[in-house]
Amino acid sequence: MIYYRLGYLTGTLKGYEREEDILNLLGKEKQKKKVKLDPEKLNKYSSTNVVQLARMSAEYEGTRRIRLKRLKDEPDGFFLDGDDTDPGSYYSCKVCRNTMPPSQTWWTPDGLTCKDCHRNIKKGVVPAEILKNDKIWFKSWHLRDEFDLHPATVRKFVRNGELVGRELKDDESKIYETIFMAEDNVSFFKTHPRKGKRKQRWHVVDKDGKVVWL
């Protein structure tokens, strides 16, 4: 408070000389002091499974948040950044299962794909929904495990039309993978009983919008 009496000013002014006051005035947070870790404890516990799991979980969550934030500017997805020379940074494609370096890995919240599978999805050879729903498509190894069909027999069925496959081609137009959509092969499921033990199931959506399990 400031008072004026008989030509003199008396009173006090609130000061902001403290660091906390200045930071509060500017609306800034004070930088937190770094926690000092006991070197002996750090050396003892840093390699334990619990600590390693916590570290990996934190790294994963941090990476996920960064990618989701980037998705705001690139809503269709993007190729990842990273060191292509480091084999440890390679990823696996959700569709063809091939491994690829970061610069050739297309990321969306639904999964990672190689540049070739991404291009085939973008062209409409196979729908993007296969990244979210593995019950609407299958590959030749499913036919081997579930129907006891040899790869040569599968190729024969494709040639005579009993099986309908969608060919995925690379940028040189070479076929590198064949995807079988359940909706393209409803008749196959009716005429070929399963022989496998696992009994994997697929489904299609009929004209009335109902899910039909095959």
Which pair of structure tokens corresponds to residue 75? 């809503």
Claim to verify: residue 66 and residue 93 sit in the same structural domain: yes
Q: For residue 177, which of 110, 106, 97 has the smallest C-alpha distance? A: 97
Claim to verify: residue 107 and residue 174 sit in the same structural domain: no
Whether 206 shows a pLDDT value over 50: the answer reads yes
Claim to verify: residue 105 and residue 155 sit in the same structural domain: no
Reported as a single tens digit per residue, the pLDDT across 130-186 is: 999 999 999 999 999 888 899 999 999 999 999 999 999 999 999 999 999 999 999
Claim to verify: residue 81 and residue 152 sit in the same structural domain: no
* Cβ proximity of 121 and 139 under 8 Å: no
Whether 193 shows a pLDDT value over 50: the answer reads yes
Give how far Cα 128 sits from Cα of 98, 112, 119, 167, 206, Å: 18, 12, 11, 15, 19
Q: For residue 169, which of 112, 133, 123 has the smallest C-alpha distance? A: 123
Whether 43 shows a pLDDT value over 90: the answer reads no
Q: What is the pLDDT of residue 17?
A: 44
Claim to verify: residue 143 and residue 73 sit in the same structural domain: no
Whether 32 shows a pLDDT value over 90: the answer reads no
Claim to verify: residue 88 and residue 140 sit in the same structural domain: no
Q: Is residue 24 part of a domain?
A: no
What is the model's pTM? 0.68
Rounded CA-CA distance 86/45 in Å is 28
Q: Give the pLDDT mean for 84-110.
A: 92
In the chain, how many domains are there?
2
Q: Give me the domain span that covers residue 178.
A: 133-213
- Between 83 and 156, where is the model more confident? 156
Q: Is residue 124 part of a domain?
A: no
Q: Is residue 1 part of a domain?
A: no
Q: Is residue 77 part of a domain?
A: yes
